[in-house]
Structure 1
Amino acid sequence: MRCSSFSPANKRTLNLQETVTTADNWAGRFWARTGCRFDGNGIGPCDTGDCGNKLQCAGAGGVPPVSLAEFTLNGYGGVDYYDLSLVDGFNVPVQVIPLTKSVDPNNKYGCGSATCTAYLNNNCPNELRETNSAGATVGCKSACLAFNTDQYCCRGNFGTPQTCTPSTWSQNYPAYFKNNCPGAYSYAYDDVSSTYTCQDSGYKIIFG
C-alpha cells in the first residue's frame, strides 16, 4: 500500500512511514492506493486510488472510491482544519492523529483524533461494492458515486444542507458509513460531526 498526497504544489507518492514538511498554509488530501501492479518503469494499474496507471501521480487525483484525509492548514482564524471524507466512498481504514498535547477535553473536535478504523468493504451494500478483476470487493462506493443522481450527490435542487437530508432518502446510504465511522464525512453536508480543528501541530496519518 502506498500513500499519496494531492495539492496544487505537491502531487507525488509517499514512502512507508515517510515524514513530509509543508508550508503552513498548505491545503490538500491524502489517500491510499491498493492492489497496485507497477512494472519496472512505474507503470501499471491499482485496484483503488489509481492515478493514471502510474506510480507517481504527477497531478492526477485518486480514482474513487477512496478514503480521504483532508487538510487546510492555517485556515480561517489561524487554525488547522482536518477531516476524514467518505463522500466518494471507502477503500481502507484511515486515521489522522494530531501530535500536539493540547487536546481539549471538552471538545473531541479540538485537536482530537479523526478515526475510521472499521473495514467497511465486508458488509458494504451489494449495489455500492467496487470489485476488482477477480471479483473481490476492494471498495465501497458512496451513493453519489454509484448512482450519480442530484439527490445522492447533493446538487441541483438538493444542493443545500436543508434540501440534502439522507434521512428522507428512500435508502439512507450515508448511515452505513456514519454508523461505522462516526467522525468521518458520510455525505457532502456532514460538517457538524466531521470537522476537526487544531493549531501549531504536526499530524500522523495512518492507512489500513
Structure 2
Amino acid sequence: MEKHFNLLMLPLLPVVMFLSGPKLSESARTFTIVNNCKETVWPAVIPADNFTAGSFVLKPGQSILFTAPVSWSGRIWGRTGCNFDKNGNGSCQTGCGSTHQCGASAKPPATLAEFTLAKQDFYDVSLVDGFNLPLVVTPLNGTGNCSVSGCDTDLRPNCPKELAVKANGKNIGCRSACDVFNTDEYCCRGRYGNAAVCKPTYYSKKFKEACPTAYSYAYDDPTSIFTCSGTDYVIAFCSTRFVIS
C-alpha cells in the first residue's frame, strides 16, 4: 500500500480534545505528537515517504497530527539541541546528527516509540538505544491490551556517569550499556543472543526501575510490548497529563 502522511500543526490546549466522528479511513491510524517539554524538540518519523522527509520542529506547547496506513511499521523519536539555518545546514546534539532530515534511524542515545500497524497493532517505547527525552505513547479508544507505554521520568540528571552524554557541563542523554561497553552480555548477542541467557543487567535494571513500561534491554518483551486494535495514538514528550474526551 502506498504510504500517505498528512500533517497539521495544532496549538496545545490544557485539555487535548479529539473530535468525534468517523476516522479518515478504516485503513489509517491518526498520530498526535505533542511537545510538553520546556525545550524545543525536533521529532523524527521513519519511514515517512511523504511526511516532510521525516523531520520537523515543535516548540514547547505545540503539537502535530499525521495519519499512517495500517501497513506502516516504523519509529518516532525526538531530537534535542538542534540548530539549523534556513538552508537546513546545522546539527542536533541528540537523535540524529548533522542533517536536517534523518536517515534510516535515530542516532543513540534516543528514546524510541516503535509501531507495527496491522489488524492488531504492536507498539512499545524502547530505551535499548539509550535515552534522550521522556516519551509516552497513549492509545485512544482501541480494543485489546491498550496500555499506556513509555518513560515519563527524565533519566538524564541521574544517569550513571559512565553512560552520560554531556554538553556544556549538562547531561543531554543517557547511553545504553551496549552502546558504551559493546559486549555480548550487554548487547544480547553471541552466546547471549536469546532470552534464556540474556538477562537484565545492573544498567538495564536502573532503566526499568525508572520506566517500568519501557524496553530496558533487548529481551524485555513481557512488560514492554503492547497490542491494540482500531486505535489512534498520542505520542507525548515530557508529560503524561492528558484528559481524553
TM-score, normalising length: structure 2: 0.75
2:77 is equivalent to residue 31 of structure 1: yes
2:46 is equivalent to residue 6 of structure 1: yes
| C-alpha separation in 2, matches of 1:33 and 1:176 | 23
CA contact (8 A) 2:48 2:54 kept: no
CA contact (8 A) 1:44 1:55 kept: yes
**Percent of residue pairs identical:** 47
* 1:56 counterpart SS class: coil
Per-residue CA deviations over 1:119-168 (Å, capped at 9, x if unaligned) read 10111111010112x232100111001111111000011100011012xx
Deviation at 1:13, TM superposition (A): 1.1
| C-alpha separation in 1, matches of 2:121 and 2:99 | 31
Deviation at 1:33, TM superposition (A): 0.3
| 2:166 corresponds to which of 124, 131, 142 | 131
| C-alpha separation in 2, matches of 1:82 and 1:115 | 10
RMSD, matched Cα: 1.5
Quote the residue 1:46 is aligned against.
92
Quote the residue 2:122 is aligned against.
81
Quote the residue 1:72 is aligned against.
116
Deviation at 1:99, TM superposition (A): 1.4
2:137 is equivalent to residue 96 of structure 1: yes
Deviation at 1:197, TM superposition (A): 0.6
| C-alpha separation in 1, matches of 2:110 and 2:208 | 16
Per-residue CA deviations over 1:155-192 (Å, capped at 9, x if unaligned) read 011100011012xx5xx110110000000000000000
Quote the residue 1:107 is aligned against.
none
Quote the residue 1:143 is aligned against.
177
Quote the residue 1:158 is aligned against.
192
* 2:76 counterpart SS class: strand
2:86 is equivalent to residue 18 of structure 1: no
| C-alpha separation in 1, matches of 2:82 and 2:105 | 15
* 1:20 counterpart SS class: strand
CA contact (8 A) 1:5 1:14 kept: no
| C-alpha separation in 2, matches of 1:131 and 1:175 | 22
Superposed, 1:127-206 pairs within 5 Å as: 127-132=162-167, 134-166=168-200, 169=201, 172-206=202-236
Q: Which stretches in structure 1 are left out of the alignment for 5+ residues?
A: 105-109
Task: State the number of aligned residues.
Answer: 192
| C-alpha separation in 1, matches of 2:56 and 2:235 | 12
* 1:176 counterpart SS class: helix
Q: Which runs of 4+ in 1 moved over 6 A?
A: none
| C-alpha separation in 2, matches of 1:47 and 1:178 | 25
Distance change (3 Å), C-alpha of 1:101 and 1:149: closer
| 1:63 corresponds to which of 93, 98, 107 | 107
Question: In the alignment, residue 91 of structure 2 is paired with which amino acid?
Answer: P
CA contact (8 A) 1:30 1:69 kept: yes
Question: In the alignment, residue 83 of structure 2 is paired with which amino acid?
Answer: R
Per-residue CA deviations over 1:87-129 (Å, capped at 9, x if unaligned) read 0100010010111164x6xxxxx11111311010111111010
| C-alpha separation in 2, matches of 1:81 and 1:196 | 6
Question: In the alignment, residue 68 of structure 1 is paired with which amino acid?
Answer: L
Question: In the alignment, residue 75 of structure 2 is paired with which amino acid?
Answer: R
Question: In the alignment, residue 80 of structure 1 is paired with which amino acid?
Answer: D
From the two aligned structures, give the one with the greater strand fraction: 2
